[in-house]
Structure 1
Amino acid sequence: MSLDVNPASAESKREYELPPVLRAEHADSSFTRLLEQQAAKIPSHMFLFASLCSMGVSLSLELMGRTQPARFIGSWVSPLLVMGVYNKLVKLLGPR
């Protein structure tokens, strides 16, 4: 017989219903919907292409010895990829 180390383990097996979100400040504005509609028009692969281009430009600037511009352009990779993921989520799930 094995003893459970967590005394609340039986309580954690219950199913909980999530409360509905009814607060007005959590609703999206018309400006947010407009941005999501416009962002959905951009192909998702464009963000991936732009991030790969910024990696290549950053690498070439680094090899030319221009470290500050290389690091500046290299810092664009993460935001571009995040924008691509957001764009893809907006397309798949739609505005919620």
Structure 2
Amino acid sequence: MTDYRVQPGEAKEDQVTAAIEKVTSQIPSSIYLGAAITSIIASIALNQSGKKHEALYVGQWVAPFLLLGIYNKLVKQLGSDATAHQ
């Protein structure tokens, strides 16, 4: 059976991705968590004030903020490519 998995160091990120990660890795992870919590609170407040559509819209921001925080943390811990950690 053929193994199609990508091995560490086999594929590399381009320079655009590396440049973006270099800048965004300077953002503390707590900023992303704070943005997610703020979105939750704002969504609840909008819902309580009767603005249901706005509450749903703002509530949908929580997952992207958390995902960006996870991505940010991975870049900080592992870098853009896995080649330097072998």
User: Percent of aligned positions with the same letter in both sequences?
Assistant: 34
Task: Say which structure is richer in helix.
Answer: 2
Q: CA deviation at 1:27?
A: 2.5
Q: Cα gap change, 1:66/1:89 in structure 2, threshold over 3 Å: closer, same or farther?
A: same
Q: 2:60 aligns with which of 68, 72, 75?
A: 75
Cα 1:69–1:82 change in 2 (3 A) is same
TM-score (norm: length of structure 2): 0.81
The count of residues paired between Structure 1 and Structure 2 equals: 77
Residue 72 of structure 2 corresponds to residue 95 of structure 1: no
> Is residue 69 of structure 2 the alignment partner of residue 84 of structure 1?
yes
Matched, 1:58 2:77: no
**Where in structure 1 do 4 or more consecutive aligned residues deviate above 6 Å?**
none
Structure 2: gaps (5+ residues)? 82-86
Q: Please tell me whether residue 33 in structure 1 is matched to residue 15 in structure 2.
A: no
User: Structure 1 regions of 5+ residues with no counterpart?
Assistant: 1-15
- The higher-RCO structure (CA 8 Å, 6+ apart) is 2
Q: CA RMSD in A?
A: 1.9
